[in-house]
Chains A and B, each alone.
Chain A
Amino acid sequence: MSVRWETEGLQTVGIVCLVIMFLKLMHLLGLIDITETDNSDSDLELSTVRHQPEGLDQLQAQTKFTRKELQSLYRGFKNECPSGLVDEETFKTIYSQFFPQGDATTYAHFLFNAFDIDRNGSIRFEDFVIGLSVLLRGSVTEKLNWAFNLYDINKDGYITKEEMLAIMKSIYDMMGRYTYPCVRDEAPSEHKMDKNRDGVVTIEEFIETCQKDENIMNSMQLFENVI
């Protein structure tokens, strides 16, 4: 009895198999249409967004670079990013190449936010060149302003202790593990900026502190002749 059951069962299984294979073959041949979700349209990818910068004259007006310098900068920029936009990942990759030993991604993230003025997630050439103009051709006050903007992660006008710590830590991260002396975990947590000890640093306090420090003032002039 059981044997007969087994045989009949197998028979059924065999017939079912055959039927399924037949159906699949029909579907493949296109004779019948087994409805499934159509994925074919999702193959159409949106072409990557492209951006063209403003004209040379406008940029010349907005920045302190000469025409030739702008041309040279744009050539370098376009070579790296042919689409005209730098997204955050590319930015991090590029910046990390200069600091092979450590992890530059956190600082690059802050830097990206500092450059990306309109906070749309990508740096256009205008942002790039305006930022560079401040850094290389701006006055000391402008540079300090820029630095304040960099440290102010949430762009609310105040630098809190946590923000400072985060910045410091990201800078120390760029050093990597193999340093002398070894980076201690408490090293980032120094805060000499907070004058009125209220836990935040405002722009005025920041500028005031920096102006009093000779070292800082000197070092601000360091990269004048980069381009």
Chain B
Amino acid sequence: MATAAWLPFARAAAIGWMPVANCPMPVSPMDNSKRQDELIILNVSGRRFQTWRTTLDRYPDTLLGSSEKDFFYNEDIKEYFFDRDPDAFRSILNFYRTGKLHYPRQQCISAYDEELIFFGIIPEIIGDCCYEEYKDRKRENLERLQDDQEENKDMKLPHMNFRETMWRAFENPHTSTMALVFYYVTGFFIAISVITNVVETVPCGPTANQKDMPCGERYTVAFFCMDTACVMIFTVEYLMRLFAAPSRYLFMRSVMSIIDVVAILPYYIGLVMSNNEDVSGAFVTLRVFRVFRIFKFSRHSQGLRILGYTLKSCASELGFLLFSLTMAIIIFATVMFYAEKGSSSSKFTSIPASFWYTIVTMTTLGYGDMVPKTIAGKIFGSICSLSGVLVIALPVPVIVSNFSRIYHQNQRADKRRAQKKARLARIRISKSGSTNTFLHNKRNGLLNELLELTDTEEDEQKRTKYTSLLQSQHHHLLHCLEKTTAHEFVDEQMFEQNCLETVLQTYPSPSPSISSHDSSAGTCCGRRVKKNSPLPNASMPSTYSVPSNQCPLQELSAMHIQCCDPSSRTASRSNLNLKTNESSRINCKSGRITTAIISLPSPPALTPDGDGLRGPLQRRPPQPQPQQQPPGHPAALSIQTTSSSAGTNIVKVSAL
């Protein structure tokens, strides 16, 4: 309370009760932390704010008023340091000083909200002067977020049954081709139906036996057929919507469905009714309702819907307009009637008859079929027309501004939808970029380990350095996750290739087992499982061949490094299996680098071309590196495998 400053006074004044008190008084609470009031320095991102301690103590349930601020106390500079926005902090500190929280207009609403939450202040205590603005901005923001969320409705939910799919197709025609086709077909038929109704009444030209007849009566059958066709389409559409609607009751109550019903009912009623004279009058009336079909266009047109919504939201202004007009009409009609009563052959035969004149005059139509002849009538008639202009002009701008606001909101929503797609694409690229960085760095990390052992001069420079400690720690974390689950991250395309390959096969490699072979037999989609055979040691003869159908064990897959280095590719890949070549080709198109697990053959004993090692090491200009490896260096990279009975094998690659 701001009146906390006056509490000492109120307590002191309580001495006035003492002489008349009946019972002894309770002991007063001790104020142990009796400090002299001191200045506190609050350093918010460099801007220093100073205030009295007691000012902050006024609101003990906020951050600044409680001991929570001790967490931010910096011993070295003897200040409370907050790494927040100093502009927003101004209004927060003013809240302590004056007891009123103000919302600055130029501040972004969500930034302001975050600051309030951080400092522990509830937004409800924003003063009346700024509360309207705050609430308006907050509502706007919420609507914007809701708009964005509604976009997610377009996303395919994984398990939608037929009914839900249909409903979605009806509500958002752009989600599937069928829906779009349906949308256009119904639109076309609505147009046909309306045009038919209009053309029906046009005089078609004289026939043999009669003069001008409207077309409808001349080509009755044709028009009837057209009408029937349209009504059938509409009926089918209505029934389908009714079937697909999640809540049938709500659907039947909605405006659009009522319009649908009203549009098709006259036809059926006409069918049912016989052609006798009594009811044909009513029948004619029913035909009028056929024009309601044009309202079905509002599903197809955004603008119509906005118009309808605007009129609904301006109901009060429209009501006021109507009421004031009615009042004015009655007044002026009465006056005109009595003014014109005296003149001969006056058209103003009664007050209701004068209503017509008043309306025509007030809306400045002025048909001239009823004209005042007396002086009084003319005077009052002119007053009537002047006031009509005013009365009608007043509520109209309100309606216009409402319409404009809603329309622009819709425009903004559409624009946001379009921009959102681009935004999402960009976000996806950056996300995949970071995954690629991880994979890239992991490979480089392993290579670094490898290179450490081989350790030639120029390789040192080629070692990639991590760009930041943060990144290296993040990658280490991902690496640990991989190790924990014994699976590996791959990027999308690799993953899809693997899926593709399992469909195709697993091609048994003619060359020794070391040859890299993409294998992802088994559970491809979902995990990239690496199967491994108990890898041959150095002495593995070239006769080793893995029958593909035996156990789903294959070698480690070498990941293909695409460095747009065609020579190296062709040189080494020649007898790697086709698959890899294809996939490498596919990879190369995108020029990406995929992760490599190094499958090292150790030994020089192997045929020079079977080396998976070749793969990763193609990064450097091809050197006869493997050959140079001494036989005693077989364990530079050893691949340990363990096979589990479950058929999935865990591959560990480690550098010794």
Contacts and interface: CB of A to CB of B under 8 A. Distances in A.
Interface string A119-134: 0000000001001100
B13 interface: yes
A215 B24 contact: yes
Contact of A15 (B9, B36, B343, B379): B379
Interface stretch (B15-23, B415-423, B566-574): B15-23
Interface string A14-28: 110110000000000
Given A132-B12, A206-B19, A220-B15, A97 B338 contact: no
Interface string A205-227: 01000100001101110110111
Contact of B15 (A77, A110, A146): A146
B10 A216 contact: no
A147 B374 contact: no
Nearest to A21: B383
B39 interface: no
Contacts of B150: none
Nearest to A225: B31
Question: For chain B, which range describes its interface: under 10, 10 to 19, 20 to 34, or 35 or more residues?
Answer: 35 or more
A95 B10 contact: yes
A135 B5 contact: no
Interface string B19-56: 11101110010110010110000000000000010100
A3 B379 contact: no
Question: For chain A, which range describes its interface: under 10, 10 to 19, 20 to 34, or 35 or more residues?
Answer: 35 or more
A186 to B, nearest CB: 14
A144 interface: yes
Nearest to A138: B15
A12 to B, nearest CB: 8
A32 interface: no
A143 interface: yes
B11 A14 contact: no
Nearest to A132: B12
Contacts of B34: 225
Contacts of B10: 95, 98
A177 B26 CA distance: 23
Contacts of B5: 75-77, 79-80
Given A218-B25, A222-B28, A144 B19 contact: yes
B52 A168 contact: no
Contacts of B19: 144, 147, 151, 193, 206, 210, 216
B504 interface: no
A141 interface: no
Contacts of A95: 6, 10, 13
B47 to A, nearest CB: 23
A85 interface: no
A132 B15 CA distance: 11
A219 B25 contact: yes
* Interface of B (DSSP majority class): helix
A11 interface: yes
A147 B14 CA distance: 10
B342 A4 contact: yes
B379 A226 contact: no
Contacts of A218: 24-25
Interface in A126-163: 128, 131-132, 135-136, 143-144, 146-147, 150-151
A120 to B, nearest CB: 19
Given A10-B338, A111-B16, A225-B31, A80 B21 contact: no
Nearest to B17: A171
A150 B2 CA distance: 27
A167 B18 contact: no
A45 interface: no
Contacts of A226: 8, 11-12
Nearest to A107: B16
B374 to A, nearest CB: 6
A76 B36 CA distance: 15
Contact of B341 (A7, A11, A147): A7
B25 A11 contact: no
Contacts of A7: 339, 341-343, 374, 376
Contact of A11 (B6, B11, B28, B376): B376
B208 interface: no
A45 B500 CA distance: 87
Interface string B373-392: 01110011001000000000
A150 to B, nearest CB: 5
Nearest to B52: A75
B7 interface: yes
Contact of A98 (B2, B7, B16, B343): B7
B469 interface: no
A205 B11 CA distance: 26
A215 B22 CA distance: 9
A223 B338 contact: no
B6 A215 contact: no
Contacts of A184: none
Nearest to B336: A10
A223 B28 contact: yes
Contact of B11 (A79, A146, A167, A223): A223
B327 interface: no
By Cβ-Cβ distance, the 7 closest A-B pairs, closest first, are: A76-B5, A7-B342, A14-B379, A135-B12, A11-B376, A10-B376, A219-B25
Given A79-B5, A193-B19, A222-B25, 15 more contacts: A3-B341, A6-B338, A14-B376, A75-B52, A80-B3, A94-B3, A98-B3, A98-B7, A131-B12, A132-B8, A215-B21, A219-B25, A222-B15, A226-B11, A227-B8
28 contacts: A6-B338, A10-B339, A10-B376, A11-B374, A11-B379, A14-B375, A17-B379, A17-B383, A77-B5, A79-B97, A80-B2, A80-B3, A98-B3, A98-B7, A128-B9, A146-B15, A147-B15, A147-B18, A147-B19, A151-B16, A151-B19, A206-B19, A222-B14, A222-B15, A223-B12, A223-B15, A225-B34, A226-B8
